[in-house]
């Protein structure tokens, strides 16, 4: 991200009559930038939840003193 908070996005334009694609780079609008930032926050939250789940699982296995394979055997 640039310091002035303006990010670039690309658009693909397809001209049906000439069958040519044109890719145009432009600055994101305020709405696009806001949506992008919200998506980044949501993705970070999902990653944190996944990491917390993995850490909790590892902590439980350590507390029980068993390996993941042993836990799978117990649950099968």
Mean pLDDT of 41-54: 98
d(CA 50, CA 45): 9
Tokens of 24: 């145009």
Question: Residue 2: pLDDT band by 50, 70, 90 thresholds?
Answer: very low
Question: Over pLDDT 70: what percentage of the chain?
Answer: 93
d(CA 50, CA 68): 17
Q: Which pLDDT value is given to residue 6? A: 80
Q: What angle do CA 23, 18, 32 make, to 5 degrees?
A: 30
- From residue 29, give the alpha-carbon distance in Å to each of 1, 6, 10, 16, 39: 14, 8, 12, 26, 15
E strands, the chain, where? 8-15, 20-27
pLDDT value at 24 more than 60: yes
Q: Which pLDDT value is given to residue 55? A: 97
């Amino acid at each position: 991200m640039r310091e002035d908070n303006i990010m670039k996005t690309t658009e693909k334009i397809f001209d049906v009559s000439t069958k040519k694609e044109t890719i145009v780079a432009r600055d994101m609008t305020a709405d696009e930038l806001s949506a992008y930032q919200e998506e980044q926050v949501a993705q970070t939250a999902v990653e944190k939840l996944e990491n917390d789940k993995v850490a909790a699982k590892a902590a439980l296995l350590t507390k029980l003193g068993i390996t993941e394979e042993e836990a799978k055997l117990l649950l099968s």
